[in-house]
Structure 1
Amino acid sequence: MAVYRSPRGRRRRRLLLAAGVQVGVTDEGPIPEVYTDAVRRSETCGFARLLDIRVTAIEGGRVRVAMPIAGKENAHGTTHGGAIFAVADHAFGIAANLDGVDQIAISAYIQYFSVPAEGTLEAMAYRVSETERTSVYAVDVYSGDRRIASFEGVGFKTGVSAKKE
């Protein structure tokens, strides 16, 4: 479920409504209408559903997603690197498409630091830089409070035409 995180939950929702901001409600809390399309796209992604990746927060251009580790082990009995990459890539994809301009990944890089503990992985994506045609996003992947991987993705804006010189 998608959640717009704020330190004052219900109070923040009342203030948003009073200010005329359209606010939807999920099981976990409110989310501004501006993010509804990005969350809907995430929820209809078959691969994300297969891995049970869920949007848990969107705030200030940052996207947080979570994925349970159970069932995603490799032959060594630890979390498969592809599963860690997938949760990071999904967070990147949502963050890159928040502004309504379609983007596709043209490169991605991940560095693994340690094996995650049992439970849930969380990935937090945020924009690092942007040009007219591309964007760069960083994603930190956590197991509990420990960062286990760092991901960088470059997006290409398919909805923007090239400038003619």
Structure 2
Amino acid sequence: MDYSDSETGGGPAPPDEFSDEILDQMIEVLSSAGGAWLIAQLHEEPKRFQTLRQDFPKSPSTIDERLGEARKAELVDEEPKYVKKKKYHQLTEKGEVIGDEIERTDLLRIQEEIWRLEQELDEEIDAFRESLVEKQDELNEAFIENVRESHSTDDNADVQ
């Protein structure tokens, strides 16, 4: 809803309103590796990057990317708060709403299960690929052996 046209006299949308663009950005954050995890962590309490890094199952650059995306989606405050010269990242009101929903649902557990299954799939594909290479090597060796035998049989026939 565009509040500039509404009876309320204009101004920004209240925190419980999400534009389509922001909703799309939120979904992108939540579906990206570590997005829901990041929001869940900050929902517990504001945290320093170093604390997030210690607990995060992905790379520090991924944390930084998710923080940037979450800021753009208005889930994390643009400016971190400072306490005793230490920088803390915290959720916005919208981020708190999303954090409540993550907590209420099984989104984080499901996402973690998907990551585990993706990792398992990658491992199985790698094992499958290795198995195919081994089979290909075996077939190549058998072919070479057949060619050798065929040539040695031809050579023996020529000698007689």
Q: TM-score, normalised by structure 2?
A: 0.29
Structure (1 or 2) with the greater strand fraction: 1
Greater C-alpha Rg: 2
What TM-score does the superposition give when structure 1 sets the normalisation length?
0.29
Greater fraction of residues in helix: 2
